[in-house]
Structures are given as C-alpha cells and as structure tokens.
Amino acid sequence: MKDTKNSPLVLVVEDYQDAREMYAAYLQFSGYRVAEATNGLEAIDRANELMPDIILMDLALPKMDGWEATRRLKMAENTRHIPIVALTGHALAGHAEGARQAGCDSFVTKPCLPDALVAEIKRMLSVRDTAAGGGRRGNRAPGRTKGTP
C-alpha cells in the first residue's frame, strides 16, 4: 500500500454499506485517506471534525439527504471551500443541475467505474489547488477513519 500520510482525505458519504466499503477500499488502494459517513447529518459532523480535502456525497441518504447536507456545508464559512462531488443513481440532466444549485462542485452517476471516480477526484482537487494558488492545508494523521458507530 502507498504511503498515505500526506495524501488527500476523502469523506465518502454513502448509506449503502457495500458501496461505501468498495469506494473506501479503492480510494485507499489509489493512495487516498478515507473517512466515512452514512447519512447527511453524520456527513456534516464528520466534515466539521475532519476538514476533508473533498467529499463524495450520495444524494439519497437517510436522516438528512445529500442535497440538504451539501447546502448546509456550502453555507458554512468553515466548510464551503471543500469540493463536493455528488454521487447519484439518477442520470437525468435535471439532477445534475439540481446538484449544482445545491452547491455540488461536480456530479458522478452511479454505478461508475472506480478509475473514473478517482479521475474526477484528481480533477476536482487540481481545480481546488489551482484556485488556492497550489497550496494544500496541513498534514493529517494517516489511515482510514470510519464513521461514528
């Protein structure tokens, strides 16, 4: 496994355990650190706690959906800078536009190939780094951080 000590932290927000674990495993294999959340409320808590480099947000979530979680994260001063990639099983053009209006920076239709997801993460982080003048925030502890039990 690659040294992930200085790798970007990806918060994977997905209520379906198998999908969440598959994304996490592939992202770790690709050199990312991974944190997980299972619903919109947990996503907000984890984002505030961990300040991830990017969030993969399923839009159909229990307790609080991904649409509302994204709106709240983008309204908050401390989390609005975090890129959010919407993950959804709906390929309709209206969903992509709705995701953008909610504050998502990008949109990926599920199921997607893991390589395509990693490519989108790299693209979004590159856009973020370019906009920020190339600098990344401070280092974090390595390893996968699971969601709250």
Per-residue H/E/C for the chain? CCCCCCCCEEEEECCCHHHHHHHHHHHHHCCCEEEEECCHHHHHHHHHHHCCCEEEEECCCCCCCHHHHHHHHHHCCCCCCCCEEEEECCCCHHHHHHHHHHCCCEEEECCCCHHHHHHHHHHHHHHHHHHCCCCCCCCCCCCCECCCC
Q: What is the mean pLDDT of residues 85-90?
A: 82
Per-residue pLDDT tens over the stretch 39-83: 999 999 999 999 999 999 998 899 999 999 999 999 999 999 999
Domain encompassing residue 109:
9-131
Here the CATH number for the domain that contains residue 108 is 3.40.50.2300
Total number of domains in the chain: 1
Instruction: Tell me the pTM.
Output: 0.82
Per-residue pLDDT tens over the stretch 19-36: 999 999 999 999 999 999
